[in-house]
Amino acid sequence: VHLEGQLREALQHDGLALHFQPVVGVDGAVQTAEALVRWPHPDRGLLPPDIFLPVAEQGDLLRELDRWVLRTALKEASTWPEPGGKPVSVAVNLAGLVPGDPEFADIVADAIAEAGIPWDRVVLELVETALVDLPSRVRQAMGELVERGIRFAVDDFGTGYSSLARLKDLPAQIIKVDRRFVSGVGSDSSDFAVAKAVVDMARAMDRKCVAEGVETATQFHVLRGIGVDTYQGWLFSRPVPPKEFRAVLALGP
């Protein structure tokens, strides 16, 4: 209850922080950065989301937290340098603010307008369960956002219950292959098979594929061989504070 009150307070006073982790192409150029929330707690140091997202959920603060992250991440991204003249997109995780929310499209549009960022530089990451069995009204609202340039990404793909065949029903342009499969891709034949099946399927259905949690050169090489489009993980960069991320971009490609 104490932590919950403090979190409520932090949300009201910009007391949270965002780190950014690059997502790079085969050539190593940064294409996107994922915003990852942290809480610089006065007594407990920099708290990771695993500690306070459950608190936010319990306190019914997750939607408010997502709104804060969305607005803050888009504003930050609107100031990023463009390495080699190529603008970098920003990816935001949504858990409490979901497409079924009656205000979803308005909240997203307002955050974009407030930041003054082009629509095609915004990626919204949702887990599979938030993207299945959506009423047609919701799918249509998502379609309108996509028409304006937004991309949706399925986060942690492969950890949900749904089969590969259901990929075609998911309203998402990007598939993020969960790091559970990435970690064993060079050593475990079933992880390799899953990763390859997901990437093949994604390509057949005209989706882009991101590999998450790439930690070793071996994983990178194997994934590149399979045809993964973009890569995210400690091999390239940890999530870093905004200033540091900006400095990386300023160095150029």
**What is the contact surface with Na ion in residues (CB under 5 A)?**
155-156, 212
> How far apart are the C-alpha atoms of 245 and 79, rounded to whole Å?
11
DSSP tally for the chain: helices H, then strands E:
9, 9
Strand partners, 19: 36
What, of ligand G, Mn ion, Na ion, none, does residue 171 touch, CB below 5 to 8 Å by kind?
A: none
**Among residues 20, 33, 61, 66, the one that binds ligand G under rule CB under 6 A:** 66
- Show the site string, 90-129: x = touches Mn ion by CB under 5 A, - = not: ---x-------------------------------x----
What, of Mn ion, ligand G, Na ion, none, does residue 69 touch, CB below 5 to 8 Å by kind?
A: ligand G
Q: Is 156 in the site for ligand G (CB under 6 A)?
A: yes
Size of the site for Mn ion (CB under 5 A): 3
The window from 98-106, 144-152, 193-201, 233-241 that contacts ligand G (CB under 6 A) reads 233-241
Chain-centre distance of CA 195, in angstroms? Answer: 19
> How far apart are the C-alpha atoms of 145 and 139, rounded to whole Å?
10
- Which residues make Cβ contacts (< 8 Å) with residue 75, sequence separation at least 6? 114, 115
The window from 74-82, 157-165, 190-198, 206-214 that contacts ligand G (CB under 6 A) reads 206-214
User: In the block, which residue shows the tokens 């034949």?
Assistant: 189
Query: Other CB atoms closer than 10 Å to residue 87's CB: what's the count?
Result: 16
Backbone angles phi, psi at 33, to 5 degrees: -135, 135
The window from 46-54, 116-124, 188-196, 216-224 that contacts ligand G (CB under 6 A) reads 46-54
CB of 237 to ligand G, least distance (A): 9
**Among residues 128, 155, 178, 229, the one that binds Mn ion under rule CB under 5 A:** 155
The window from 6-14, 137-145, 147-155, 180-188 that contacts Mn ion (CB under 5 A) reads 147-155
Tell me which residues in 180-199 interact with ligand G (CB under 6 A): none
DSSP 159: S
CB of 220 to Mn ion, least distance (A): 19
* Token digits of residue 242: 């905004």
* Token digits of residue 203: 């390509």
Three-state secondary structure string covering 136-158: HHHHHHHHHHHHCCCEEEEEEEC
**Among residues 22, 59, 158, 233, the one that binds ligand G under rule CB under 6 A:** 233
With respect to Mn ion, which residue has the nearer C-beta, 7 or 37?
Answer: 37
Query: Other CB atoms closer than 10 Å to residue 140's CB: what's the count?
Result: 12
User: In the block, which residue shows the tokens 């610089």?
Assistant: 40
Contacting positions for Mn ion (CB under 5 A): 93, 125, 155
Contacting positions for ligand G (CB under 6 A): 21, 35-37, 48-50, 53, 66, 69, 93-95, 155-156, 179, 212-215, 233-234, 239
